[in-house]
Amino acid sequence: MNPIKVGICGLGTVGGGTLNVLRDNVEVISARAQASLQVVHVGARRDNPDCDLANIRVSRDIFEVAHDPEVEILVELIGGTSVARELVEAAIVSGKHVVTANKALIAVHGNEIFALAEKHGVEVRYEAAIAGGIPIVKALREGLAGNRIEWLAGIINGTGNFILTEMRDKGREFSDVLAEAQALGYAEADPTFDVEGIDAAHKLVILASLAFGIPLKFDAVYTEGITELTTQDVGYALELGYIIKHLGIAKQHAEGVELRVHPTLIPDHLLLSDVDGVKNAVLVEGSAVGPTLYYGAGAGAQPTASAVVADLVDLARNFGVEQSNRVPALGIAQSSLRDLPIIPMANIETPWYLRMEVADKPGVLSRVASIFSEQGISIEALIQKAPAEGQTLVSLIVLTNKAPQGSVDTAVGGIEALDAISGKVTRIRVEALDG
């Protein structure tokens, strides 16, 4: 069988998983690829004790893999954006196809990398960059190619979802769960990327480009993490019939595109509400197909390796195919992408969950209500909690109807200025996810 020579740079969680999947599933992979995928060269600063590197050339300098004339496909699994970009560009210029799991690299430098790959007649594949083992790139780029994508919303950071689930179900401390996610190999090298929403923003920007045919615009994503979430708000949301999830949301409107990552209350009856632990899911609304949901493991060695190997098989199937007959990296040639405007957050309308700590005395509720009314914000539901023993403050939880963030900002400013209010108002957006 025709051999295709593969070089792998980076032998951490995903690199190790990829070698193992290639070895364990060799027969089915070769049959599907109609070629044998042979790892001939590995570049890694150190060995991975879980990997058998017999008959594989090992270099400590990863650029030796990029310059190895035997290597036909380079798999970039080192992470980061600067050395990884140099490595990938060196491989492209040397005429090698590239597979990467690096969402930061694609989100930040993807436009330049894809253009370079087009110029050199090679492909860059990145299924493993988003939602671990879920074939969401394939789904958006190929499976849904007949649809206008109206919007998508996803739980696209496994570490964050794992933390939120453990906090909600077991009352565990944030830092304790994060340490476990790191030990399990879910978290980024810098875990603030997970908990501050940066990792989800990287993935969202790629999904949005695939969905709407726009260039990658990482700087345009509004990003809020999960570090400020409290178990108190998780509990009140449940009382109101909602689950709090950390979502990446992209929507297309006539006037432009929404791109945002933030904690979100979603109705508890949605399938997405049951996506727990390290699992990811992406809900995509297509104009013809309607809503479709993609679910699976969002992080970890084997699931991410599953996506890396799928890309290798796809590339192997395309060997010898003219560039004009290959599927472009974002589904549309770089020159045909449309640069749509990004809608400012102040104009984006959602319902809101607002919690404020207020003095338990007459007139406070009516003053709060009149501030909402002045901003044209209507109240959908309201809960007031009795003060705890010996306390004078009560929690007032307000669920609003749809209101633009700009009006909510003004109302919250007015409420926080009232003497009867203690501290800041907690604000979390709500999404019905029904179109």
Part of the chain binding ligand HSE (CB under 6 A), chosen from 26-34, 42-50, 181-189, 420-428: 181-189
Q: Are 71 and 6 in contact (CB under 8 A)?
A: yes
The CB-of-203 to ligand HSE minimum distance in angstroms stands at: 7
The nearest distance, CB 84 to ligand HSE, in angstroms, is 14
Rounded to a whole number of angstroms, the minimum distance from the CB of residue 275 to ligand HSE is 12
What size, in residues, is the chain?
435
- Give a three-class secondary structure readout of the chain: CCEEEEEEECCCHHHHHHHHHHHHCHHHHHHHHCCEEEEEEEECCCCCCCCCCCCCEEECCCHHHHCCCCCCEEEECCCCCHHHHHHHHHHHHCCCEEEECCHHHHHHHHHHHHHHHHHHCCCEECHHHCCCCCCHHHHHHHHCCCCCEEEEEEECCHHHHHHHHHHHHHCCCHHHHHHHHHHCCCCCCCCHHHHCCHHHHHHHHHHHHHHHCCCCCHHHCEECCCCCCCHHHHHHHHHCCEEEEEEEEEEEECCEEEEEEEEEEEECCCHHHHCCCCEEEEEEEECCCEEEEEEEECCCHHHHHHHHHHHHHHHHHHCCCCHHHCCCCCCCCHHHCCCCCECCHHHCEECEEEEEEEECCCCHHHHHHHHHHHCCCCEEEEEECCCCCCCCEEEEEEEECCEEHHHHHHHHHHHHCCCCEEEEEEEEEECCCCC
Residue with smaller CB distance to ligand HSE, 126 or 222: 126
Shortest Cβ distance from residue 188 to ligand HSE (Å)?
4
Provide, rounded to whole angstroms, the least separation between the CB of residue 246 and ligand HSE.
10
When asked if residue 158 is in the footprint of ligand HSE (CB under 6 A), the reply is yes
Number of amino acids touching ligand HSE (CB under 6 A):
11
- Is residue 91 part of the contact set for ligand HSE (CB under 6 A)? no
Verify binding: residue 187, ligand HSE, rule CB under 6 A.
yes
Nearer CB in complex with ligand HSE: 286/298: 298
Contact (Cβ atoms closer than 8 angstroms) between residue 11 and residue 42: yes
154 binds ligand HSE (CB under 6 A): no
Q: Is residue 299 a contact point for ligand HSE (CB under 6 A)?
A: yes
Specify the stretch interacting with ligand HSE by CB under 6 A; choose among 44-52, 153-161, 250-258, 374-382.
Answer: 153-161
Catalytic annotation, pick one of 203, 245, 251, 279: 203
Residue 105 burial (10 A CB sphere; 0-12, 13-18, 19+): buried
Minimum Å gap between C-beta 303 and ligand HSE is: 9
Residue among 157 and 264 whose Cβ is closer to ligand HSE: 157
Site for ligand HSE in 372-431 (CB under 6 A): none
Q: Which of 89, 199, 224, 258 binds ligand HSE (CB under 6 A)?
A: 199
CB of 261 to ligand HSE, least distance (A): 12
Answer yes or no whether residue 157 interacts with ligand HSE by CB under 6 A: yes
Q: Which of 76, 118, 188, 285 binds ligand HSE (CB under 6 A)?
A: 188
- Choose one: 42-50, 184-192, 316-324, 368-376; the region binding ligand HSE (CB under 6 A): 184-192
Q: Does 123 bind ligand HSE (CB under 6 A)?
A: no
Contact pick of 118, 194, 196, 233 for ligand HSE (by CB under 6 A):
194
Query: Where does this chain touch ligand HSE (CB under 6 A) — which range of 71-79, 144-152, 157-165, 233-241?
Result: 157-165
Only one of the segments 35-43, 155-163, 342-350, 356-364 lies at the binding site for ligand HSE (rule: CB under 6 A); that segment is: 155-163
* CA-closest candidate to residue 277, choices 211, 150, 358, 184: 184
Tell me, yes or no, if 245 is annotated catalytic: no
Q: Which residues are catalytic?
A: 203
Tell me which residues touch ligand HSE (CB under 6 A): 132, 157-159, 186-188, 194, 199, 298-299
